[in-house]
Amino acid sequence: MRALCWHGKQDIRCDTVPDPRIEHPRDAIIRVTSCAICGSDLHLYDGFMPGMEHGDIMGHEFMGVVEEVGAENRKLKKGDRVVVPFTIVCGACDQCRRGNFSVCERSNRNKELADKVFGHATAGLFGYTHLTGGYPGGQAEYVRVPFADQAPVKVPDGLSDEQVLFLGDIFPTGWQAVVQCDLQPADTVAIWGAGPVGQFCVRSAVLLGARQVICIDHVPERLSMARAGGAITIDFDTESVIERLNELTRGKGPEKCIDAVGLEAHAGRSVDSLYDRAKQAVMLETDRPHVLREMMYVCRPAGVLSVPGVYGGLLDKIPFGMAMNKGLTIRMGQTHVNRWTDDLLRRIREGQIDPSFVITHTVDLAEGPGMYKTFRDKQDGCIKVVLKP
Ligand code: NAD
Ligand code: ZN
Ligand code: ZN
């Protein structure tokens, strides 16, 4: 089959690889009909995440049709149409039973390696690093889904791939980022980053009833999509983020701040310069402030910082004392996708939201490698790429 494979920094290729096979009786093989490129894939593309190996199959946002099921899988049958959450869950461990799916204790098959790096293993993820199991991803014609009797979401008739695909990641991710803000009716929510995740944070904050939603970025198309979703926008190239946020909140600061940027916190800087750790430390002093630092500074005391943005490794020069003295709550993590999928699928069916609004590019899988670059460099108005295997 064809699959997009990782071959090093900024080197993704459409390779021919062996088809996946059932390896465990609870598995399923999915024929992928649509998949997408995520900001998290860019961290792998840019070489920010340790634990990638040559030939790893990319992709954790995908859906398709069940091709084959293992003997013990009672949930799925051949021909079912499913969206597959990016977090692999066993459904039975202590964390899964608490709904903490992204820290499932059993789905990461590289437990020892993860234990060493994280202190504990976190859930297995598709198409991500070997620290999270190194499972082959879904930017491919076929994919093996482990524990396939748990996470996959069956798609009701009448909904297109484009309407439901993002239930596997970015819609629940934006939703969880807002839910974990403990929104109050008078709250202002400020969202850093108007990428796909930021866009779903904006829509979720509006749906969940925030009084005012503000979105910060510098890419014009992304800012205008955020405005279309109901946000006031700030262009950090031309405006002072801190001053504008204080102005919009009568000097109080936003009660709730969301980091939907993550590792790409130095917009406009080449990735190569980020590789140089010494320079990175200096940049934190001299460049525009790191998103987390800006959030800590401007957030109203007793407010919440919600961090769906992905980080890896160490992060320096974060004013923890400032956050402590202001009594801020910080919440973060990979999304517990299955916590939200029933509710969000219902909202899509009821027409409260059509997640396909975020798609700007739809291309054949073979064009994937070029699309990684287009998406990363925000060329051609690119906000979200859907690939058709
Ligand atoms: P993206 O790279 O397309 O979007 C990031 C946006 O942030 C860009 O539009 C960029 O211009 C903007 N930006 C950069 N620096 C900024 C700054 N200083 N201030 C404001 N905006 C700035 O990525 P995406 O797909 O939207 O994903 C965003 C983040 O969410 C990534 O880190 C991704 O890994 C993460 N993510 C997390 C989860 C999860 O489960 N927690 C799931 C999906 C994605
Ligand atoms: Zn993703
Ligand atoms: Zn589990």
pLDDT, tens digit (0-9, with 9 covering 90-100), for 214-244: 999 999 999 999 999 999 999 999 998 999 9
How far apart CA 85 and CA 124 sit, in angstroms, is 11
Q: From 57, 160, 222, select the one nearest 386 (Cα to Cα).
A: 160
Closest Cα to atom 3 of ligand 1: 195
At 166 the pLDDT is 99
Ligand 1 atom closest to Cα of residue 334: 40
Which ipTM score applies to this complex?
0.99
Ligand whose nearest atom lies closest to the CA of 89:
3
Q: What beta strand segments (E) does the chain contain?
A: 2-6, 12-16, 28-36, 56-57, 61-69, 81-84, 87-88, 124-125, 142-145, 153-154, 188-192, 212-217, 232-235, 256-259, 304-307, 329-332, 361-364, 385-388
Q: What average pLDDT score do residues 66-86 get?
A: 98
At 279 the pLDDT is 40
Whether pLDDT at 282 is above 80 = no
Ligand 1 atom closest to Cα of residue 307: 41
Point out the least confidently predicted range of 278-287, 290-299, 322-331: 278-287
Closest Cα to atom 34 of ligand 1: 40
What does the mean pLDDT of the chain come to? 92
Ligand 1 atom closest to Cα of residue 40: 34
Domains (ranges, CATH) in the chain? 2-169+335-388 (3.90.180.10), 171-332 (3.40.50.720)
How far apart CA 198 and CA 191 sit, in angstroms, is 7
Give distance in angstroms: CA of 59 to centre of ligand 2. 8
Q: What average pLDDT score do residues 292-306 get?
A: 95
Point out the least confidently predicted range of 16-30, 253-267, 320-334: 253-267
Using an 8 Å Cβ cutoff, are 158 and 152 in contact?
Answer: no
- The percentage of the chain sitting over the pLDDT mark of 70, rounded to a whole number, equals 93
Measured over the CA atoms of residue 85, residue 87, residue 91 and residue 96, the dihedral's sign is negative
Q: Model confidence at 289, in pLDDT bands (50, 70, 90)?
A: low
Tell me the residues surrounding ligand 2 (ion) with CB < 5 Å.
Answer: 38, 40, 169
pTM of the model: 0.95
Q: Give the burial string for 268-289 (b: 16+ CB within 10 Å, else e).
A: eeebeebeeeeebeebbeeebb
Using an 8 Å Cβ cutoff, are 214 and 245 in contact?
Answer: yes
Whether pLDDT at 266 is above 60 = no
pLDDT, tens digit (0-9, with 9 covering 90-100), for 335-363: 999 999 999 999 999 999 999 999 999 99
Give distance in angstroms: CA of 269 to centre of ligand 2. 23
Q: What average pLDDT score do residues 132-148 get?
A: 98
Q: Which residues contact ligand 1 via a Cβ below 6 A?
A: 38-40, 42-43, 169-170, 173, 192-198, 216-219, 222, 236, 260-265, 267, 291, 308-310, 334-335
